[in-house]
Amino acid sequence: MNLRRWFLLPARAMQVLFFAVPLGIVVVLSVLTRGDYGGAEQPWSSESYRRLFDPLYGLILWRSIWIAALATALCVLLGFPLALYISRAQKYRSLLLQLVILPFWTSFLIRTYAWLFLLRDTGLVNTALLKLGVIHQPLPLLYNDGAVLLGLVYGYLPFMVLPIYAALERMDPSLAEAAADLGAKPLSIVLRVIAPLASAGVLAGSLLVFIPCLGAYLTPDLMGGGRTVMVGNLVQNQFTTARDWPFGSAVSLALMAITALMLALFLRRAPAESP
Amino acid sequence: MNRRIFLLGVATTGCAIDRRPRLNVFNWSNYIARDTISNFEREFGVRVRYSVYESNEEMLAKVMTGNSGWDVVFPTHNRIAPMVRNGLLAPLDHARLPNLPNLAAQFQNPAWDPGLAHSIPYMWNATGIIYNRRIAPPPSQWADLWSPRWQGRLTMLDDAEDVLGACLSKLGLPFDSADAAHLERAKREAIAQKRMVRAYLNAEVRDQLVSGDVLAAQIWSTTAQQAISAAKDLAFVYPTEGFPLYADNAVILRESARAELAHSFLNYLLRPAVAAAIAAEAETATANEAARLLLPASVRESETLYPGAETRKRGVWPRALPGSAIRLRDRIWTEIKSA
Amino acid sequence: MSKLLGWYAAFLYAFLHVPLLILIAFSFNSSRFSVWEGASFTWYRAMLNDTQMAEAAWHSVIIAVFSSLLATAIGTAAAYGMWKHKAPLLQGSLYLTLVTPEIVMGISLLALFQWIFRWMPFRLGLGTVIIAHVAFSIAYVAIVITARLRTMDPALEEAALDLGASEWAAFRRVTLPLLAPAMGAAALLALVVSFDDYVITSMVAGVDSETLPMVIYAMARRGVNPVLNAVSSVTVVFFGALILLSERVRAQ
């Protein structure tokens, strides 16, 4: 017993000192007032929370949820067939999986930059289309919600594919065979037999995609051109250039609350599935 | 275990190799000449860490804490008074700055820092409109930037003061107004314009102007001069409704433990040859008169950098605003960016 | 149906990998525009001459190595401690750490450090970055080690204890050697996660602790820069090779 306590001590200390305490400080900050030139000071005030309900910021939160949900849905639509393909592959399965995981090992920042390089007005896509005469003026492919969505899907697709694959792999193949024997068409088999059984994987993947997308910062910043302000950008902004720590703290806690809620819902639905 | 000790040793040796005193300088991007820093390092036998920022806010966010680690930073003139009020700046010892007389007369005793107690004017510029000559008719006032013809090929500065100021000027109101009602109207203008704005960018828009991605931009005259040098089809104009003038100043932070070295650096920057090299390469207007006389004619007589007397009449030096006004402007800026 | 799926898979793999391949390809382009004008090492030379980038890369390496070692040690210990007996609070908080948005972790740590620095004579620097990285890496390590422990037979340790060994000896001589490969994998994971981190690092880094992702971000903000292509290529190839190599080793 003693040894076990010692083993747990460093992790517990780290979690308390560098996770719980910082969040506690953020809570305290959220009920203070902003100093004239930054920082936080007395008096105590709930103004930051009141500002949260300002329709302007509610709009940002709603927009972030919408974009994150859309990105998650796209990941499911795009990722499920791929996971299905890998789970059915006879050979090279491990290689196929590695090819999905490989982008994950690449820096997210670099992967986002790759799209900047492709999509800007004088980037490869526009240059190619112009040369082919398909368009006569560069398309504004960057600095809009669509670009942000693309960046998010590209970045988090592997997180969706892997859990779905794991669920599909565990599935009994004879179920699909039985359905085929009974005369069901392939698409119907996928939709009515396979998909429901893989739902646990879809749920896990959705959690792994939705939450980071909700708090995304880099993608809307680089690919949205500072125009698509999502919750992550708002928080970062308040703690740097806007120097409004109390308000930034309130927004962070709201974001955390939503995140924790999602996690709780997920754990209730699928307690055995850990990421 | 052995591997860990080895790594530790390597790391500490890596840090211990350079024993020269180090000066940490935080400046605007593209605001120095290629060899300014290396020459200083060589002459004084020191090391300089030189990093850049794109906006006052970015710099202030780090410096306001009072223990950022920077020694010399370059705030714009109307940020100096608040920084002094917050005890962030070290008083300057003029005895250590014999090159001071090189400054132009108008910068020897400026309104924002009488007697140059805390700052040394470095370079100055203004905000105006840069545009691609392909566009006809060319823009000549802030109001022109609200036209739908830009179709998203327009950028504004990522700077609350400049964007709000442009809106205020467009409405015929004072550029640095602190009045809540004025600012509210300016905010509505900015939000209305936002649809047509591609992005809010500072100096980083230069490459996009040169490459033709962006057709018009609210821009600082320094960046404009740099862009025009790189692409002849660009032109710059000072808006008829009025425009702001800014002076960027070198200051020493009170937290700095290397005040003497910092003074040497400031004095070094005041040398005519050094300032001229910076002004020439960064293509900016220098506050150093002795240096300006050394500049090549193309820079010294550039209308973009040194607007003529008639144009200057429309310019205003924005003043330092009270804390409450800054808070209000910051909040409005957040609302504009989030809209 | 299978054929359709096959084509679709190929298309999706292309979507995942082609942008990076193009990025790497154009790092060899002699022109700075997106029109191919001949192969050249110009940008690689420019990258190597950039002292700021070299310094930042060095910082990234130091931070990654130290934080990975610490996180692996702490995370392994925690996973082992949670193995046979529940520690619900710790487990829950580790989960929470995993799902907390990076920006929130970053600002909360910034708030902590700035508060501490009011009483203590420190400032943001390599130390704060390493602490931050360890803080978020522990959860990753714990997951990897926990997964490995699930497939481990507790009877092995129990046998050692029955034979008279102390708890510590049983751990050190029975379990630890069996965990070694998983610890290696976890350390590698922590290394990569630390090296690539931007959001949290940017909030808690100081003047003299700029990391490579911070330099890359600053350059990316300014627009497309072929030197960035070169840096990206080097990073991608280096870590890609590292991962594939470690997979090779693990498979043996």
Question: Are the beta carbons of C96 and A260 separated by less than 8 Å?
Answer: yes
At which residue do the structure tokens 């903000």 appear?
Answer: C221
Q: Closest Cα of chain B to C207: distance in Å? A: 6
pLDDT attached to residue B269: 95
pLDDT digits (tens, 9 = 90+) for B153-191: 899 998 889 999 999 999 999 988 889 999 999 999 999
Angle at A238 between CA B204 and CA B126, to 5 degrees: 40
Question: What is the Cα B137 distance to its own chain's centre?
Answer: 30
pLDDT digits (tens, 9 = 90+) for C203-240: 999 888 899 999 999 888 877 788 888 998 998 888 88
Residues of B in contact with C69 (CB under 8 A): 4
Minimal Cα distance from B61: which residue of A?
Answer: A240
Q: Closest Cα of chain A to C183: distance in Å? A: 15
Q: Is CATH 1.10.3720.10 what the domain over A43-172+198-269 is classified as, yes or no?
A: yes
CA dist., res. A144 & res. A27, Å (int): 33
Question: Are the beta carbons of B68 and C207 separated by less than 8 Å?
Answer: yes
Please provide residue C110's backbone torsions phi and psi, each rounded to the nearest 5 degrees.
-60, -45
Question: Are the beta carbons of A244 and B57 separated by less than 8 Å?
Answer: no
pLDDT attached to residue A274: 46
Q: What is the largest CA-CA distance in chain B?
A: 74
Minimal Cα distance from A245: which residue of B?
Answer: B61
Higher pLDDT, B232 or A263: B232
- Which of helix, strand or coil describes residue A175? helix
State yes or no: pLDDT of B126 exceeds 60. yes
Question: Are the beta carbons of A242 and B333 separated by less than 8 Å?
Answer: yes
**pTM listed for this prediction:** 0.85
Helices (H), chain C: 2-26, 42-49, 51-83, 88-99, 102-119, 126-150, 154-162, 167-170, 176-196, 199-204, 212-221, 226-251
Question: Are the beta carbons of C221 and B204 separated by less than 8 Å?
Answer: yes
Q: Which of C108, C161, C239, C242 would you mutate first to test chain A, the one with the most A CBs within 10 A? A: C108
- Which of helix, strand or coil describes residue B198? strand
pLDDT attached to residue A273: 45
Question: Are the beta carbons of B212 and A121 separated by less than 8 Å?
Answer: yes
CA distances for B7 relative to B280, C61, C128, C197, angstroms: 45, 11, 19, 21
> Which B residues 153-182 touch A at CB under 8 Å?
158
Q: Closest Cα of chain C to A164: distance in Å? A: 15
CB-based contact C192:C239 (threshold 8 Å): yes
Residue B166: CB partners within 8 Å, gap ≥ 6? B127, B142, B145, B156, B218, B239
Helix %, strand %, coil % of chain A (to 5): 75, 0, 25
CA dist., res. A255 & res. A262, Å (int): 11
Exposure of A18 by Cβ count < 10 A (0-12 exposed, 13-18 middle, 19+ buried)?
buried
Residues of A in contact with B200 (CB under 8 A): 225-227
CB-based contact B129:B145 (threshold 8 Å): yes
Taking residues B106-114, report their average pLDDT. Answer: 92
Question: Are the beta carbons of A11 and C74 separated by less than 8 Å?
Answer: yes
Q: Chain A within 8 Å of B333 (Cβ-Cβ)?
A: yes
Residues of B in contact with C224 (CB under 8 A): 207
Q: Which of C34, C60, C86 would you mutate first to test chain A, the one with the most A CBs within 10 A? A: C34
Which member of B57, B199, B338 has the closest CB to residue A241?
A: B57
Q: Which of A65, A113, A125, A244 would you mutate first to test chain C, the one with the most C CBs within 10 A? A: A113
Q: Closest Cα of chain A to B199: distance in Å? A: 5
Q: How confident is the model at residue C198 (pLDDT cuts 50, 70, 90)?
A: very high
CATH class of C2-27+37-154+182-251: mainly alpha
Walk me through the domains of chain B, giving residue ranges and CATH numbers: 2-124+246-306 (3.40.190.10), 125-244+313-338 (3.40.190.10)
Average pLDDT over all residues of chain C: 88
CA dist., res. A265 & res. A22, Å (int): 25
State yes or no: pLDDT of A142 exceeds 90. no
Residues of A in contact with B158 (CB under 8 A): 226
Share of residues in chain A with pLDDT > 90 (%): 28
Token readout for B255 is 């937290």
Minimal Cα distance from C36: which residue of A?
Answer: A124
CA dist., res. B113 & res. B111, Å (int): 6
What's at B305, amino acid-wise? L
Q: Which of B5, B6, B7 would you mutate first to test chain C, the one with the most C CBs within 10 A? A: B7
Q: Closest Cα of chain C to B309: distance in Å? A: 34
pLDDT digits (tens, 9 = 90+) for C148-189: 888 888 888 888 888 888 888 888 888 889 899 899 989 999
N residues, chain A: 275
